[in-house]
Structure 1
Amino acid sequence: MLGTIWINFGLGMLAFLVTLGTAVASNVWLVSLERAGIAFVLFFLAAFPIRWLLATFIQASTPPMVTDSLEGTSSPLAEGGVVLEIGQQLEQEDETFAPTSIDKMERIHPTEDPATVAEVVRRLSDE
């Protein structure tokens, strides 16, 4: 679905305030509050199918993106202009997967020693 529950809540609150503002002028405040509450619930619930329809239309208008794991690029067409299915993409990843051994891993050494870093921080905090 498109968006979050806060969209529903915001739409419901807008309906609540507009209904309360217009109903208070010609009704008792309790009746106005009841009608505003009904408007909140109706608009809150009506936002769900609206968000679902918008998400469906947006997904239908954009082509699916396939990530090329070897090159790190995204393109709607992969390998010879054919869009890969999810299952095919997973099969290709399984074939090229090789776990990294501990010997190949490199240890990252800090570029500065802690004393130099402490001096720089002290100088910057004094200014």
Structure 2
Amino acid sequence: MMGKLGFYIMTGIAGFVFTFIFTIRNNLWMTSMYRALLAFAIWFLLAFALKWILAAIIAPRADKNGSGNSKAQSEQERGTVLDLSTPDEDRELMDLIHSESGSKENGDFVPLNPPKLVSTKDPEELAKAVRHLTDK
């Protein structure tokens, strides 16, 4: 508990010092001291709130019933663990790369032939529309 309280007090002192240093140049000594004390209280409370919120987010949820039911425990822990490992797909990628490089070496390369866009409009009607648009 003293470690946490020391952390809160240190953040409060940091707020006190910063506020006092920046306000002493433009204010009277008592006004700067009053504002620095307010800053101490605000930084202390912010540190307390931040630590409390982080502890609530990060701390694993314990089984409140005390029962050893693994299904109920897994339901409570759902969403608390993040698995950043990806499935191992290296073999599939290597097979794909080798199949592509093998077809190029054998001369089986076929260029891409996209389908042609065909207009169903009469060419005279399209030319008339272009002339109309270019006149304006």
| TM-score bracket, shorter-length normalisation | 0.3 to 0.5
Structure 1 or 2, whichever has the larger Rg, is 2
Question: TM-score, structure 2 length as denominator?
Answer: 0.43
Identify the structure with the greater strand proportion: 1
